């Protein structure tokens, strides 16, 4: 079972987000980029499949701040091949249509049985990567997946619907699957093993094809939501806050 | 090409999803700008009447036994034909487990631009505009809906489902499709949610915990508080994905919708996927150390104290109040 996992870094939402002077993009000066959370699940699911069925896992990413760290961490987790697409100016708006076209070129060459992508990213504005990539490489796509069991050239996937309902679908391989959650939480690796990987793992750098962003919308203004009814903030230390919460509950007859 | 707006009806086991009504509300707005009509496109089996209460001008109904349950491949094939054959100005989907992947595949297959996470739309001076919500609800972006045609996936929040409900049933036109072969994706069946210990959708007091709870041991503290209050513990997705609580306790887009009297949100950022499941709570009190956390836009009361400092004190206080 050969699996490709394209990964993407996204702004860490724990940090304060500022809009740049142009008014259409985030100010990247203080932004911290982290691996998209569901991509981490896609990677974990790939490693679980590799461990139970043998095979290889390749991770691809577009070059950018923090990407090397992510690649070396994946290597430390057991990824066989690290691929970095270089030469793309991040100043240009790389949307998912463009990203899917980049990765399609690599996927066609690697001919994997499965491509596992995170089902979405919080900054997707032109759809998620998975279905676009699937269509460009001519594979079927199923997303919102939280379980994958390969059997005879197909895999039975668990697709999540609201309310905890699961639909089981049989998908012919090769396929692209949009992972929502791996069958077990993403593993941790010790920093020492990542350092080791930095010394030993090779990153295969490949020139990205020409950028083509058609298929996504243009943004002419970016802003923070107006907070019409922001919560009334309870100030003070935990004693005061606890006291006020108990008062509120008491008013409702709940305490 | 027409100036019509199409809405792809999402339904599961005989029930039309709320997001479809939201999409119809957006479609009505767009149609005032284009001068076209709103068509609901319904794929199903023995479900002709499903779209009866949508505020659409007409329903395009496609019936096939293979459409009894959602299969993305069938939707792709049928809709590529329908939309590609006579493209409407816009086609609206829910940004959901069903809509998102069909919209994505069609965007690539038909080379039709896609705007996702759309919260609201506008039509003025001959321009159609979108506002989409990104970065976990912390940022909104605005722009023109691409010309001449576009696919759009809608998120909840901009319109109430009631706005997409109509008084009179729209006229239904049946359209046939070429037989659906056995393709590369086959629906195999459902796995029902596990029987519940506690049904959080009917519990009046919920202590909701998010990633801020930090580790599994702290979950006990939340359990203790819930028990003292006579309520139950529920959680955001990361807590459930870690295996600290069962799936039945998850609130949100992929979990349950809850409507308690009190929702105490501890260490939850308020991502749109979470808020979707709890925004109908009567009273929400949020505790989060990040003053910019979107949960404070949903909550009536908030505090920036550390939840791990707060929990033991709060448990004591509630105990004292109950005792005295
Ligand atoms: C397709 C899809 C479906 C999804 N469905 C759901 C769903 O149904 N339900 C759901 O919940 N999520 C869902 N998600 C995930 C969702 O996007 C968010 O990632 C998730 O809701 C975030 O959970 P959180 O708020 O607990 O964690 P975070 O966003 O990481 O927030 C943790 C918060 O805790 C605060 N905090 C940290 N430490 C403390 C402390 N000591 N005291 C006080 N505050 C603290 C931080 O400031 C932060 O705001 C879905 C995602 C996808 C892609
Ligand atoms: N590692 C990265 N992954 C994804 N996007 C990035 C990364 N680094 C920078 N960007 C994006 O690149 C654009 C310009 O960044 P910069 O090159 O830092 O000016 C911004 O819109 C960022 O969103």
Rounded mean pLDDT, B211-216 = 97
Say yes or no: CB of residue B289 within 6 Å of ligand 1.
yes
Centre of ligand 1 from the C-alpha of residue B274, in Å:
7
Give the distance (Å) from ligand 1 centre to CA of residue B238.
6
Among A41, A93, A103, A131, pick the best mutation site for testing chain B contact (most B Cβ within 10 A).
A131
Distance B197 CA to ligand 1 centre (A): 24
Q: How many DSSP H helices and E strands does chain A contain? A: 6, 13
pLDDT digits (tens, 9 = 90+) for B255-278: 999 999 999 999 999 999 999 999
Q: Is B103 within 8 Å of B90 (Cβ atoms)?
A: no
CA B230 centroid distance within chain: 30
Architecture of domain A2-207: 3-Layer(aba) Sandwich (3.40)
pLDDT for the residue numbered A90: 65
CB contact under 8 A, A246 and B314: yes
Residue B142's Cβ-count burial label (10 Å; 0-12, 13-18, 19+) is middle
Q: Return the higher-pLDDT residue of A232 and A93.
A: A232
Query: Which tokens in the block code for residue B218?
Result: 């702290």
Q: Specify the range with the lowest mean pLDDT, choosing from B25-34, B56-65, B315-324.
A: B315-324
Mean pLDDT of B66-71: 95
The mean pLDDT of A119-133, rounded to a whole number, is 97
Q: What is the pLDDT of residue B194?
A: 82
What's phi and psi for B142, nearest 5 deg? Answer: -130, 145
Do B32 and B5 form a contact (C-beta atoms < 8 A)? no
**Integer Cα distance of A155 and A138 in angstroms:** 17
- Residue B181: its pLDDT value, please? 79
Q: How confident is the model at residue A226 (pLDDT cuts 50, 70, 90)?
A: confident
What's the average model confidence in pLDDT over B299-314? 98
* Nearest bound ligand to the CA of residue B274: 1
Q: How far apart are CA B234 and CA B262, in angstroms?
A: 12
Given an 8 Å threshold on Cβ–Cβ distance, is B193 in contact with A17?
Answer: no
What ligand has the least distance to the C-alpha of A96?
2
- Say what the pLDDT of residue A16 is: 86
The alpha carbon of residue B18 is apart from the nearest alpha carbon of chain A, in Å, by 12
Q: CB distance A135–B104 less than 8 Å? A: yes
Closest CA to B133 of B266, B297, B3, B283: B297
**Best of A129, A180, A231 for a ligand 1 pocket test (most atoms within 8 Å of beta carbon):** A180
Instruction: Return d(Cα A5, Cα A44) in angstroms, integer.
Output: 10
Q: Report pLDDT digits (tens) over A14-57.
A: 888 999 999 999 998 888 999 999 999 999 999 999 999 999 99
C-alpha distance from residue A98 to each of A88, A179, A210, B40, B126 (Å)? 11, 20, 9, 31, 29
The structural domains of chain B, ordered by start, are 5-175 (3.40.50.620), 195-323 (3.40.50.1220)
CA of A14 to the centre of ligand 1 (A): 10
- Output the CA A91–ligand 2 centroid distance in Å: 7
Domain residue limits, chain A: 2-207
Question: Which chain B residues have a beta carbon less than 8 Å from that of A254?
Answer: 204-205, 229-230, 261-262
Percentage of chain B modeled with pLDDT above 70: 100
For residue A92, name the pLDDT band (cuts at 50, 70, 90).
low
ipTM of the complex: 0.91
Atom number of ligand 1 nearest to Cα A13:
29
Chain B positions touching A166 (Cβ under 8 A) are 190-191, 193
Question: Interior CA angle at B215 toward B214 and B220, to 5°?
Answer: 110
Q: Which atom of ligand 1 is nearest to the CA of B255?
A: 8
Q: E-strand spans in chain B?
A: 5-8, 11-12, 15-16, 38-44, 58-63, 90-94, 114-124, 127-134, 139-144, 150-154, 171-174, 185-191, 205-209, 232-235, 262-266, 283-287, 301-303
Chain centroid, CA B131 distance in Å: 16
Question: Helix, strand, coil proportions of chain B in percent (round to 5)?
Answer: 35, 30, 35
- Residue B112's CB: how many other CB atoms inside 10 A? 21
Mean pLDDT for A231-237 is 96
**A-chain residues near B187 (CB < 8 A):** 167-169
Nearest to B283 among A97, A227, A252 (CB): A252
Give CA–CA dist B111/A77, Å, rounded: 38
pLDDT for res A91: 60
Look up residue B85 and give its two tokens.
């054959």
Six token digits for residue B292: 């910019």
Residue B205 φ then ψ, to 5°: -125, 120
Beta bridge partners of A155: A150, A171
Residue B274 near residue B251, CB atoms below 8 Å = yes
Residue A90 near ligand 2, beta carbon < 6 Å: yes
Q: Which of A7, A28, A31 to mutate to test the pocket of ligand 2 (most atoms within 8 A of CB)?
A: A28
Question: For residue A121, what is the nearest residue in chain B, using CA coordinates?
Answer: B135
> Per residue in B288-316, is it b (16+ CB within 10 Å) or e — as a string?
bebebbbbbbbbbbbbbbebbebbebbbe
* Binding site membership of A67 for ligand 2 (Cβ less than 6 Å): yes
Residue A88 has a pLDDT of 87
Q: Say how many Å lie between the CA of residue A202 and the centre of ligand 1.
A: 35
Q: Name the residue among B101, B102, B296 with its Cβ closest to that of A231.
A: B296
Give the C-alpha separation, A227 to A225, whole Å: 6
Per the CB < 8 A criterion, the answer to whether B104 and A95 are in contact is: no
Strands B58-63 and B11-12: unpaired
**B291-303 pLDDT per residue, tens:** 989 999 999 999 9
Q: Which DSSP category does B164 fall into?
A: G
pLDDT digits (tens, 9 = 90+) for B72-129: 999 999 999 999 999 999 999 999 999 999 999 999 999 999 999 999 999 988 899 9
Instruction: Looking at the CA of A22, name the nearest ligand.
Output: 2
A64 lines ligand 2 (CB under 6 A): yes
Residue B324 pLDDT > 80, yes or no? no
Is residue A177 within 8 Å of A114, Cβ to Cβ? yes
What are B4's two structure tokens?
């019509």
């Amino acid at each position: 079972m050969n699996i490709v996992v394209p990964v993407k870094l996204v702004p860490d939402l724990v940090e304060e987000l500022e809009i740049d002077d142009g008014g259409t993009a985030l100010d990247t000066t203080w932004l911290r980029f982290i691996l998209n959370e569901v991509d981490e699940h896609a990677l974990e699911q790939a490693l679980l499949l590799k461990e139970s069925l043998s095979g290889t896992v390749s991770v691809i990413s577009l070059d950018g701040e923090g990407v090397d760290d992510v690649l070396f961490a994946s290597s430390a987790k057991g990824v066989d091949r690290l691929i970095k697409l270089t030469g793309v100016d991040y100043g240009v708006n790389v949307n998912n249509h463009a990203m899917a076209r980049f990765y399609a070129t690599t996927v066609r060459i690697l001919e994997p049985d499965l491509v596992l992508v995170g089902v979405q990213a919080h900054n997707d504005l032109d759809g998620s990567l998975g279905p676009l990539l699937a269509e460009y490489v001519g594979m079927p796509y199923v997303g919102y997946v939280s379980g994958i069991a390969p059997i005879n050239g197909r895999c039975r996937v668990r697709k999540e619907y609201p309310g905890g309902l699961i639909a089981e679908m049989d998908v012919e391989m090769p396929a692209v699957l949009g992972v929502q959650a791996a069958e077990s939480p993403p593993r941790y690796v010790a920093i020492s093993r990542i350092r080791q990987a930095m010394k030993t793992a090779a990153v295969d750098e490949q020139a990205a094809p020409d950028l083509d962003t058609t298929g996504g919308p243009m943004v002419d203004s970016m802003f923070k939501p107006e907070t019409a009814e922001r919560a009334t903030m309870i100030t003070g230390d935990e004693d005061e806050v606890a006291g006020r919460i108990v008062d509120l509950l008491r008013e409702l007859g709940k305490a | 090409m027409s100036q019509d707006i199409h809405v792809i009806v999402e339904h599961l086991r005989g029930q039309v999803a709320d997001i479809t009504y939201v999409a119809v509300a957006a479609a009505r707005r767009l149609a005032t700008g284009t001068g076209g009509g709103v068509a609901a496109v319904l794929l199903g089996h023995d479900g002709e009447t499903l779209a009866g209460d949508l505020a659409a001008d007409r329903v395009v109904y496609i019936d096939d036994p293979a459409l009894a349950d959602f299969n993305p491949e069938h939707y792709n094939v049928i809709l590529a034909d329908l939309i590609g054959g006579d493209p409407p100005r816009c086609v609206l989907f829910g940004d959901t487990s069903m809509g998102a992947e069909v919209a994505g595949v069609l965007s690539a297959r038909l080379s039709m631009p896609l705007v996702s996470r759309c919260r609201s739309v506008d039509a003025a001076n001959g321009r159609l505009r979108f506002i989409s919500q990104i970065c976990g609800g912390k940022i909104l972006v605005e722009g023109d809906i691409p010309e001449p045609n576009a696919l759009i996936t809608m998120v909840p929040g901009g319109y109430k489902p009631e706005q997409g409900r109509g008084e009179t049933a729209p006229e239904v036109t049946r359209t046939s499709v070429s037989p659906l072969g056995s393709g590369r994706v086959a629906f195999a069946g459902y796995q029902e949610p596990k029987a519940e210990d506690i049904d959080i959708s009917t519990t009046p007091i919920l202590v909701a915990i998010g990633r801020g709870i930090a580790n599994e041991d702290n979950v006990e503290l939340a359990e203790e508080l819930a028990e003292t209050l006579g309520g139950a513990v529920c959680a955001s997705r990361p807590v459930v994905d870690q295996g600290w609580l069962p799936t039945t306790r998850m609130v949100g887009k992929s979990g349950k919708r809850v409507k308690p009297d009190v929702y105490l949100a501890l260490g939850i950022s308020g991502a749109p996927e979470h808020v979707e499941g709890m925004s109908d709570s009567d009273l929400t009190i949020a505790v989060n150390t990040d003053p910019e956390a979107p949960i404070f836009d949903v909550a009536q009361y908030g505090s920036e104290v550390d939840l791990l400092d707060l929990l033991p004190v709060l448990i004591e206080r509630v105990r004292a109040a109950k005792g005295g």
